[in-house]
Chain A
Amino acid sequence: MGLTGLFLISFLVVHCFLNSFIFFNDGGLMFNIGAHFMATNWLIRAMEIVLFAGLILHMVQALILTMENRKARPVGYNVAGGSANSSWYSRSMGLLGTLLLMFLIIHLAHFWVKSRITGLPGEDANGHENLYAVMQTTFTQLWVVIVYVLAMVSLAYHLLHGFQSAFQTLGLNHKKYTPAIKAIGVGFSIIVPFIFALMPILMYAGIIK
């Protein structure tokens, strides 16, 4: 879980960085250059397969763990006081992950299917496929914006536990470095989903055109 989790975190960094090109607010020209590179570079295309494999592996591991853990306590407690000794999100990674999977299906249908399978509408001024135009039309719908923002809240909590937890699983716990890993984890878990959430909000509000 730790290894696949860290791999998916590395994907988030790339995805967030490239999507941030929309903040140039240049009608999507920069963003489409990034999207064109991602769609045509052979290494990136190969990594896309690895990414899907990593994502599936992460989910399969989660399912196996959950089934084994359920078997470990066939009779539950009448009074369970989990909130006294652990955070709710550390105990709800499966729920948060399921919400993220549901979001991911919607998200892939919105963008990945269009850019990789059904094709994109027209080209921009640079002659690149216009993925930016798809973003613009998608984020004119209020429900889509709400779903995306809520999904980013789920992502934030999932990362809040997952980031530091991955290091613990890999045995990387150190008196000197663990506080730094935890602090970076909290920062990452708030900043990355926040940047992602800003995209549909600012586009819906018409601030990014």
Chain B
Amino acid sequence: MGSGNGELLNLTLKVWRQKNSKAKGSFETHQLKGISTDMSFLEMFDVLNEQLIHEGKEAIAFDHDCREGICGMCSMYINGRPHGPKGAVTTCQLHMRSFKNNDTIVVEPWRSVAFPVIKDLVVDRSAFDRIVASGGYVSVNTGNAKDANNILIPKPAADDAFAAAACIGCGACVATCKNGSAMLFVSAKVSQLALLPQGQVERKERVLKMVQQMDEEGFGNCTNTGACEAECPKEISLENIARMNREMIGASLK
């Protein structure tokens, strides 16, 4: 396992187990021995699941896909923080060297009325898909592909749009917000299009529809604590929320 210092950890894991969305869940405690500090947090979970299978128990369900920090699937709430104690990483990029020998690690699913638990640590984040479907797109006529430089875009606008587009829709912002607000996610999706010339045609309609869908999904309201920005694995800025507020005020007054 890599080129680490060979240190091995003994850990106590308290993991949320829940059969399905209707069942009442509870914590389950497991002991793990000899975990390499080079392992990612998800690899540590793989080891735990193998151990459970060997014991004839059911493996813990958890979301994961790319394991390289770009898909936004891994969603564990670790010791009170989404994606664990390190800033700007997803759970797959969190390594066991961030923990100490004999640590107790509490792992919970995202908690939001809009993200119902499907099983154990897996939550249903399709609320985000419905928000994007409500207006987070640009309608383009089909035809031949145009030259990339046909539309000139100022570098600062392109940079801000790109930074907003870095959002991977993981839901850490909702998970960490004391109000369960989705403002950082929605504002990133609104911003990436509002900043670009291609997004202008549907600009007003987009923000109104996406905010309406966000409210319908049951997400809470933003009180500007800044927790989302601090926990976002892609470091999406609060400036996007202010931009969405501006877009919203502008669109409502028209």
A interface residues (Cβ-Cβ under 8 A, vs B):
1, 65, 68-69, 71-82, 84-87, 90-91, 93, 161, 164-165, 168-173, 175
30 contacts between A and B (CB under 8 A): A1-B223, A68-B220, A69-B223, A71-B218, A71-B220, A72-B113, A72-B114, A72-B218, A73-B112, A73-B180, A77-B77, A78-B106, A79-B79, A79-B80, A81-B81, A82-B80, A82-B178, A86-B178, A86-B225, A86-B230, A90-B224, A90-B226, A91-B225, A168-B224, A169-B224, A171-B243, A171-B245, A171-B247, A171-B249, A173-B241
Contacts of B16 in A (CB 8 A): 78
User: Do A78 and B108 touch across chains, with their CB atoms under 8 A apart?
Assistant: yes
CA distance A17 to B244 in the complex (A): 36
User: Do A73 and B113 touch across chains, with their CB atoms under 8 A apart?
Assistant: yes
CA distance A55 to B14 in the complex (A): 46
User: Do B220 and A79 touch across chains, with their CB atoms under 8 A apart?
Assistant: no
User: Do B176 and A85 touch across chains, with their CB atoms under 8 A apart?
Assistant: yes
**B29 near A: Cβ within 8 Å?**
no
From the candidates B112, B225, B246, name the one contacting A171 in the complex (CB within 8 A).
B246
- Minimum CB distance partner of B105 in chain A: A79
- The range of chain B's interface size is 35 or more
User: Do B242 and A171 touch across chains, with their CB atoms under 8 A apart?
Assistant: yes
The contact string, 1 if C-beta is below 8 Å from chain A, for chain B 188-206, is 0000000000000000000
Contacts of A87 in B (CB 8 A): 225
User: Do A93 and B245 touch across chains, with their CB atoms under 8 A apart?
Assistant: no
User: Do A165 and B246 touch across chains, with their CB atoms under 8 A apart?
Assistant: no
Task: Given A72-B112, A79-B80, A79-B108, output 8 extra A-B contacts at Cβ < 8 Å.
Answer: A68-B220, A69-B180, A72-B179, A78-B16, A82-B178, A86-B226, A90-B223, A171-B242
User: Do B225 and A77 touch across chains, with their CB atoms under 8 A apart?
Assistant: no
- Minimum CB distance partner of B160 in chain A: A175
User: Do A69 and B179 touch across chains, with their CB atoms under 8 A apart?
Assistant: yes
CA distance A128 to B248 in the complex (A): 50
Contacts of A80 in B (CB 8 A): 80
CA distance A93 to B225 in the complex (A): 10
B203-244 CB contacts (< 8 Å) to partner A: 218-227, 230-231, 238-239, 241-244
Contacts of B27 in A (CB 8 A): 78
CA distance A90 to B178 in the complex (A): 10
**B111 near A: Cβ within 8 Å?**
yes
User: Do A79 and B106 touch across chains, with their CB atoms under 8 A apart?
Assistant: yes
List the 7 closest A-B pairs by CB distance, nearest first.
A81-B80, A173-B242, A171-B246, A72-B220, A72-B180, A85-B230, A69-B179
Shortest B188–chain A CB gap in Å is 14
Residue among A71, A75, A87, A90 facing the most chain B CB atoms (10 A cut-off): A75
CA distance A90 to B228 in the complex (A): 13
**B181 near A: Cβ within 8 Å?**
yes
- Minimum CB distance partner of A173 in chain B: B242
Shortest A160–chain B CB gap in Å is 12
User: Do A168 and B245 touch across chains, with their CB atoms under 8 A apart?
Assistant: yes
CA distance A175 to B218 in the complex (A): 32
Shortest A175–chain B CB gap in Å is 8
Contacts of A165 in B (CB 8 A): 223-224
User: Do A77 and B243 touch across chains, with their CB atoms under 8 A apart?
Assistant: no
Given known pairs A78-B108, A81-B80, the reply for A161 and B249 (CB within 8 Å) is no
Contacts of B79 in A (CB 8 A): 79, 81
User: Do A65 and B80 touch across chains, with their CB atoms under 8 A apart?
Assistant: no
CA distance A169 to B225 in the complex (A): 11
B145-173 CB contacts (< 8 Å) to partner A: none
Contacts of A170 in B (CB 8 A): 245, 249
CA distance A68 to B113 in the complex (A): 11
